[in-house]
Chains A and B, each alone.
Chain A
Amino acid sequence: MARKLLMSLFVLLLIFGTAGAQEAVQDTIGPPSPAPPTNIVVVDRPNDTGHGVLVNWALSADDGGGKDNVLAYEVYRADQADGEYVFRGLSVKGTGQYEDKDDSPRINDLPNPGFLITEKTYYYKVRAMASGGVYSEYSEAGSGQPMENWFHVGKIPILIGVIIFWVLVVYFIFMARKGTDYYVRPLAGINAVDEAIGRATEMGRPILFVLGTGTAGDIATIAGFTILARVAKLTAEYQTRVLVPVNDPVMFAVAQETVRTAYLEAGRPDIYNPDNISYETAMQFPYVAAVNGIMLREKTATNFYMGVFHAESLILAETGNIAGSIQISGTDQISQLPFFIAATDYTLIGEELYAASAYLSKEPVQVGTLKAQDWAKAILMVILFIGAVLISMNVSFIKDMVTVNL
């Protein structure tokens, strides 16, 4: 009996002893666990609607040093410090920050568990992941709240620029109203407007005014309306038809009102024909077909292209060239400018389109804004020059100052 007891004890000792030895062997030959990240700090994500936080941590001692085996960090979130922590995302090694942002309260008509509620406290833990599927211990929890922001700090350079430019515009308008006479460089495209309308009158053919394929809200289209008003006034005086086919219903309404008012101001409301301003279609190439048809059937003497243009620019301008029309174009679309320069007689390049209203009206107030633009350009040139010199010397002061963080 005693012998049996001794044998059983020996077997038990052998089993437990072997198991302990196996654990010791595993500890020695298995992948080592990395040290956990520390110092979890959760702050509000700046410049947002209040549904995001930034989780920051100090890197694991084994990230870039020590055992150097960290591959990534896993970020977990809970509603309470001792609540259930749910996986939120990964950050690669060497990165001590994770952006947790979700502003959709519902997804597919179901509550979105990832949604962050403004001013609610959230708790975060982070752990390091090493090669071989080994993880560190979880870090201590850190907490923070997403807050609604009332000013976009990243847009400060834009705000400063807008204020400076606004002050310049108001100053030069004030000076112009006081009687200061500003010189404006002549633009060939603008100078040709009278000549082009005169030519149409002599030939007894209509003028075509194309406002492009943008929308009524585009600045270039609004600039186009300004030029249309001047052109329509001249055509009313010369009793020449102006045809305005448009591709947007809002533009159609505005164009009709612009031309009608121009005829009224010219004292010729009797010859205003609303059918000359026509809505064609909202589709790009059917619109091109409609305008090309008008050019070829009506044999328009002068074509104006003023506004936003896309791939249709060259098709329109080349058809106008085939029809033998004088053509004046203007757009702010850089990709279409080469086509207009190649295919039309005069082109208003970018800002010249916006400046056209000042050139045509010659009002001191309008010319004052041109001067403000010139001064703004001069300031920008100085900033660019100094910035280029400083950045070449590895000084990023100017670059940092003007960088916009959207």
Chain B
Amino acid sequence: MKKQIPIYFVLISGIVMLIQYFVPSEESEWLFTYANDWVIVVGIFALALGIWSLLRTEFKKLKNPKEAFYAGTLLFGYFIMVFTGLKREWLEAGHLHMDLFNNILIPIQATIFALLAFYVASAAYRAFRARTALATILLLTAFIIMLRLIPLGPISEVNQTAVGWILAVPNMAAKRAITIGVGLGAIATCIKIILGIERTYMGHD
């Protein structure tokens, strides 16, 4: 019974939402909004669980000398942000909470994002090593596409045509094939969930 109720609930709500997609009436729109509001409600309850997990794990890590520094930093940052944001008006610009957010958190996030530039170079180096015939084709194609950004006189015009063809024909064909596969796979997964064949998301096999 404990297993059956969620499965029937998923079956009914799945079919209702499927029908809702094809019905444009106001009642249907309301149902869609109502269902999405429930996602937010569930998310808020789950957030409390998440915060509990975070605090419990980090407090445990404080006992481990190897991890104590990182856990301590995280907990210090967490409580500073909580206490400086307790009042609604403290969340406005000019208060400590927003100063910490704008001047510490955002630059740190930008720094991590900037790592991408270096990682693109290292990943490209490995990917473009011409060890096999396919890797060689990849290397040549990438070379042609990268040349697009460099002015090469009369060669540029020919190169632009080649790049246009690569992007519009083989590249687009592959992307569309993947998109069609993803679409069918997603529908198949949805059907499996609605019919109760796929149940691992509920913690059941």
Chain A count of residues within 8 A CB distance of the other chain: 84
| CB-based contact A334/B175 at 8 Å | yes
Selected from A253, A261, A314, the residue in CB contact (under 8 A) with B204 is A261
| CB-based contact A249/B47 at 8 Å | yes
A158 CA / B183 CA spacing, docked (Å): 12
Q: Mark B23-60, 1 if CB is under 8 A from A, else 0.
A: 11110010000000001001100111111011011001
Chain B binder among A179-187, A189-197, A336-344: A336-344
Chain B binder among A200-208, A284-292, A395-403: A284-292
User: Distance (Å) between the CB of A167 and the closest chain B CB?
Assistant: 11
Chain B count of residues within 8 A CB distance of the other chain: 64
| CB-based contact B53/A219 at 8 Å | no
A176 CA / B28 CA spacing, docked (Å): 36
| CB-based contact B50/A249 at 8 Å | yes
Residues of A within 8 A of B193 (CB): 222
**A391 in contact (CB, < 8 A):** no
Q: Mark B168-189, 1 if CB is under 8 A from A, else 0.
A: 0000000100111110111111
A226 CA / B67 CA spacing, docked (Å): 31
| CB-based contact A377/B200 at 8 Å | no
**B155 in contact (CB, < 8 A):** no
Residues of A within 8 A of B24 (CB): 47-49, 149-152
**B146 in contact (CB, < 8 A):** no
Where chain B touches its partner, the secondary structure class is: helix
Considering the complex, which residues of chain A in the window 220-236 have a beta carbon less than 8 Å from any beta carbon of chain B? 222-223, 225-226, 228-229, 233
Q: Mark B186-205, 1 if CB is under 8 A from A, else 0.
A: 11111111010110111111
A223 CA / B204 CA spacing, docked (Å): 14
| CB-based contact B26/A50 at 8 Å | yes
**Most A C-beta atoms less than 10 A away, residue of B24, B70, B109:** B24
Selected from B18, B22, B47, B124, the residue in CB contact (under 8 A) with A342 is B124
| CB-based contact B46/A252 at 8 Å | yes
A337 CA / B22 CA spacing, docked (Å): 32
| CB-based contact B185/A350 at 8 Å | yes
Selected from A50, A155, A229, the residue in CB contact (under 8 A) with B200 is A229
| CB-based contact B26/A372 at 8 Å | no
Chain A binder among B82-90, B91-99, B115-123: B115-123
Chain B binder among A61-69, A78-86, A136-144, A272-280: A272-280
| CB-based contact B202/A249 at 8 Å | no
Chain B binder among A20-28, A33-41, A351-359: A351-359
Given A149-B25, A152-B22, is A278 in contact with B109 using a C-beta cutoff of 8 Å? no
| CB-based contact A318/B122 at 8 Å | yes
A287 nearest in chain B by CB position:
B112
Selected from A248, A257, A351, the residue in CB contact (under 8 A) with B185 is A351
A377 CA / B126 CA spacing, docked (Å): 34
User: Distance (Å) between the CB of B122 and the closest chain A CB?
Assistant: 6
| CB-based contact B119/A315 at 8 Å | yes
| CB-based contact B178/A337 at 8 Å | yes
**A173 in contact (CB, < 8 A):** yes
User: Distance (Å) between the CB of B145 and the closest chain A CB?
Assistant: 12
Given A155-B22, A343-B123, is A332 in contact with B200 using a C-beta cutoff of 8 Å? no
| CB-based contact A165/B113 at 8 Å | no
**B127 in contact (CB, < 8 A):** yes
**B79 in contact (CB, < 8 A):** no
| CB-based contact A341/B122 at 8 Å | no
Which positions in B face A, CB cutoff 8 Å? Answer: 18, 21-26, 29, 39, 42-43, 46-51, 53-54, 56-57, 60, 66-67, 70, 105, 108-109, 112-113, 115-116, 119-120, 122-124, 126-127, 175, 178-182, 184-193, 195, 197-198, 200-205
In addition to A249-B47, A262-B205, 17 A-B residue pairs with Cβ atoms within 8 Å of each other are A50-B25, A152-B24, A165-B188, A173-B197, A216-B201, A223-B189, A265-B205, A278-B54, A278-B57, A284-B109, A315-B116, A317-B123, A332-B182, A354-B185, A357-B200, A365-B197, A366-B192
Sample (28) of A-B pairs whose CB atoms are under 8 Å apart: A49-B24, A49-B25, A148-B26, A150-B23, A151-B23, A169-B192, A216-B201, A217-B39, A219-B190, A222-B198, A225-B200, A225-B201, A249-B43, A249-B46, A252-B46, A252-B50, A279-B51, A285-B112, A286-B105, A317-B123, A332-B185, A334-B182, A354-B182, A365-B197, A366-B192, A369-B191, A372-B188, A377-B184
